[in-house]
Structure formats: structure tokens, C-alpha cells
């Protein structure tokens, strides 16, 4: 694989410097993923925008974590699984829920399991979830709006999962 540069505020393209500064203020450091994404200011801005939007969904923090970690584990993202495990702890998401999702185990909570299964189906079927799958998700208590929120989160994590695959992004010490 090609070696990808992990940019800092000192060596990043000009249009990425402000984005990295903003990310550092929000997170407390510049994650290696952001440093890699900084090579494309548009990619970094898109990811950070989607990340910010993810904080204001109708899905709660546990549900967002279920979606994120289902995507990360299905795509086998070496970086995002530990990163989102650390984020899940900060969001006070149960370790039991997080661990089950990353190990592809059914969740005890039927509604969360419907979310996990629906998210996995979106990825595996490239968005072409059949009517039965959609009805099962809606019958669990989710809404059409939440279908679209899951789609947005799949887009967000696809950006990071694929970037990490190509760059073989080293896992930050903060996520170990």
C-alpha cells in the first residue's frame, strides 16, 4: 500500500489547517484519521460535518453507537472499532452493547437488535434492503426518518472505514 501522510496543523494543506484546529479543540487532540483525511480538505470537512450532524439525530447515543460499530465491524475497520469503543465509553454506552455489536452478537434489547440487523443489511445489500427488512425495522419502533439517519451514518463511516483501509491508519494511543 501507499504510505499516506498523517498531517499536522504544520504540514497540512492550507484549507485543512483550520479544520484540524477545530477538531483538536473539540476532541483534545488530532486523531490520526483526521491527519490522513487532511490531504483532502473536502473529505475532512465532509467527515467532520457528518460527525457534527450525528450529534443531533433522533437516534440516541446508544443507537448511534450500534450503527457506527455495526458498520465498523462489518467493514472490519481496524481503526474505527477501537476509536468508537473509546467514544462509546465517553457517551456512557454500555460495554455489553458495544462488545456484542463489534463481535457480531445479537443484542438482548429487541429494538437495538432490529437496528443492528437493519444496519448490517444496508451494508451487506448495498442499500437494497427488501420490504420485509424495512418493515421489521419500522415494526421495532423506528421511523422513516431514522432509516435516513442510518443511511447518513453509513455514509459517514464509509468515508472513515475506506480511508483507514487505504491509509492503514495507525491507532491513536487515546483509543488503545
The answer to whether 38 touches 44, Cβ cutoff 8 Å, is yes
- Structure confidence by residue, pLDDT tens digits, 94-153: 999 999 999 999 999 999 999 999 999 999 999 999 999 999 999 999 999 999 999 999
Whether pTM > 0.75 for this model: the answer is yes
Q: Would 108 be classed as within a structural domain? A: yes
Q: Would 95 be classed as within a structural domain? A: yes
C-alpha–C-alpha distance, residues 78 and 96, integer Å:
20
Q: Would 92 be classed as within a structural domain? A: yes
Provide the domain limits for residue 103. 60-167
- Residue 1 pLDDT > 70: no
Please give the pLDDT value at position 2: 73
As a whole number, the mean pLDDT across the chain is 98
Q: Would 130 be classed as within a structural domain? A: yes
Q: Would 28 be classed as within a structural domain? A: no
- Structure confidence by residue, pLDDT tens digits, 19-29: 999 999 999 99
Query: In the predicted model, what is the mean pLDDT of residues 35-61?
Result: 98
Q: Would 84 be classed as within a structural domain? A: yes
C-alpha–C-alpha distance, residues 172 and 79, integer Å:
9
Q: How many separate domains does the chain show? A: 1
Chain position carrying cell 458495544: 98
Domain harbouring 101, CATH code: 1.20.1290.10
Query: In the predicted model, what is the mean pLDDT of residues 66-94?
Result: 98
Query: In the predicted model, what is the mean pLDDT of residues 50-64?
Result: 98
Q: Would 83 be classed as within a structural domain? A: yes
Q: Would 4 be classed as within a structural domain? A: no
Long-range contacts of 123-126 (CB under 8 A, 24+ apart): 123/70, 123/71, 123/74, 123/75, 123/154, 124/74
Amino acid at each position: 500500500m501507499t504510505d499516506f501522510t498523517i498531517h499536522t496543523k504544520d504540514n497540512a494543506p492550507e484549507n485543512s489547517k483550520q479544520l484540524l484546529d477545530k477538531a483538536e479543540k473539540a476532541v483534545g487532540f488530532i486523531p490520526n484519521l483526521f491527519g490522513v483525511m487532511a490531504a483532502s480538505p473536502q473529505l475532512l470537512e465532509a467527515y467532520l460535518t457528518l460527525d457534527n450532524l450525528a450529534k443531533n439525530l433522533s437516534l440516541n447515543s446508544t443507537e448511534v453507537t450500534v450503527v457506527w460499530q455495526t458498520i465498523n465491524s462489518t467493514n472490519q475497520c481496524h481503526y474505527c472499532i477501537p476509536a468508537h469503543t473509546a467514544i462509546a465509553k465517553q457517551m456512557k454506552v454500555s460495554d455489553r452493547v458495544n462488545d456484542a455489536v463489534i463481535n457480531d452478537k445479537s443484542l438482548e434489547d429487541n429494538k437495538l437488535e432490529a437496528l443492528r440487523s437493519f444496519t448490517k443489511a444496508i451494508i451487506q445489500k448495498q442499500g437494497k434492503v427488501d420490504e420485509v427488512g424495512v418493515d421489521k425495522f419500522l415494526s421495532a419502533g423506528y421511523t422513516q426518518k431514522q432509516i435516513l439517519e442510518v443511511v447518513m451514518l453509513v455514509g459517514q463511516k464509509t468515508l472513515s472505514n475506506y480511508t483507514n483501509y487505504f491509509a492503514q491508519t495507525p491507532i491513536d494511543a487515546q483509543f488503545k
